[in-house]
Amino acid sequence: MTYGPPAQTGHPHPSGVRAERAYLDASTVAPLHPSGREAWLTAVSEGWADPRRLHREGRSARLLLEGARESIAADLGARTEELVFTGSHTAAVHAAVLGTLRARHRVGNTVVMSAVEHSAVLHGTRFAGETSLIDVDRLGRVDVSAFANAVSEPGVALACLQAANGEVGTVQPVGTVSEATRKSGVPLLVDAAAAAGHTSIDPHWDLLTADPRSWGAPDGLGVLAIRAGTRWLSPYPDDDGTEQVPGSVAIPAALAAAVVLKTVTAQREQLGHRRRELTHQIRTAASAIADTEVVGDPDDRLPHLVTFSCLYVDGEAVVDDLDRQGFAVGSGSACTASTLEPSHVLAAMGVLTHGNIRVGLPVDVRPEDVERFCAALPGAVARVRTMLGADDL
């Protein structure tokens, strides 16, 4: 079954051909899965009431909410009581960071993290504490030895390491790093925003955050899991003592997220194998373009992400050319693309930051769309180089 944004005609390309749209920007926001749409409509009809009320409508809403919490917790390797819903992934990350720093303020306020963490982690830490950034190699993988040394220093209240990078796809050594954090008595926050729903999550974490949008669920929900025994205090004003984070939960979003995660988790091996083959095809096509660097680990990576950078081009110009041909792709930092700033991830890796193109394959991606993209890519890069007068460089 094919789903996601409906096919539509775009602006005519110089060739005069109106191409069918292909959404290839599912690095952070995937198209809504059909099972999620069905679950959403069910919850809108049956779960609209306040789940704290004791009447039938309230009990019905509460059953849907608790069922969603139990299902997502199980798929992420957490207990139901450890899972907290927030209004967004950013809110979940900020709650994790700020709540841990509040609970461990007597220890210190330093947060150790890789230099390629999601911008929400970086901003949350800089808002409330001191940041100790650990270098990564050219594949985007953190220096384990340096990380271990940093968490052993006095004053460290929290360590943060993503499960995998949402821009270049490189999987991080969470299990190895967790050995060092446990030895030093420092809780480890693992951000699984890019990995959840696409690959298995290493269970060695103390706090975990996830973004349902990345696995094909609707907007309006973030996921935070806090292991039993982890010191954490809500950084928000008391809200009648009923919730760890303020505000109510969008029950339709929670139910849809649970249903979609259950569906894609069951199909993860099959979907991962298929998309790995297609991303390999894209990596090969990009590598064949002169002065182009494909970044990230070629093997130990997420199955659906590809990032490459081209010399002598402007990334946004290439994105625009491809968009007019019917392809939606990304450029710049995956978590701050709207700023059009060079990617802090690529800069930390020491690779080319300009002319950056990021491709994220949704689970329903069609092989023929990837073939069309690979065929269109060299011409798009060539046209931009010509436009910039860089043909002969």
What H or E segment, with its residue span, contains residue 288?
none
pLDDT at 18: 52
Mean pLDDT by 10 residues, the chain (393 residues): 43 53 93 93 89 91 95 97 96 97 96 96 92 97 98 98 96 98 98 96 97 95 97 84 75 96 95 96 97 96 96 92 96 56 89 92 96 97 90 65
DSSP string across 300-333: SB-TTEEEEEETTS-HHHHHHHHHHTTEE-B-S-
The CA–CA distances, whole Å, from 88 to 47, 99, 125, 271 equal: 20, 16, 17, 26
Q: How many helices (H) and strands (E) does the chain have?
A: 11, 12
Spatial separation of the C-alpha atoms in residues 280 and 263, rounded to whole Å = 25
In this structure, are residues 191 and 113 in contact, taking their beta carbons and an 8 Å threshold?
no
Residue ranges per structural domain of the chain: 22-31+268-387, 34-266
User: Are the folds of 22-31+268-387 and 34-266 the same?
Assistant: no
Buried b (16+ CB within 10 A) or exposed e, 93-123: bbbbbbbbbbbbeebbbbbbbbbbbbbbbbb
Rounded to the nearest 5°, which phi and psi values hold at 11?
-70, 145
Q: Which amino acid is at 352?
A: L
What are the structure tokens assigned to 172, written together? 């991080």
CATH number for the region 22-31+268-387 comes to 3.90.1150.10
Give me the residue label for tokens 């789903």: 3
Q: Which amino acid is at 89?
A: H
Query: How many C-beta atoms surround the C-beta of residue 182 within 10 A?
Result: 14
Question: Which CATH architecture is the domain 34-266 placed in?
Answer: 3-Layer(aba) Sandwich (3.40)
In this structure, are residues 337 and 310 in contact, taking their beta carbons and an 8 Å threshold?
no
What are the structure tokens assigned to 8, written together? 């539509």
Nearest to 176 by CA among 227, 211, 223, 141: 141
Instruction: Report helix, strand or coil for 293.
Output: strand
Task: Say what the pTM is.
Answer: 0.90
pLDDT at 238: 74
pLDDT at 3: 45
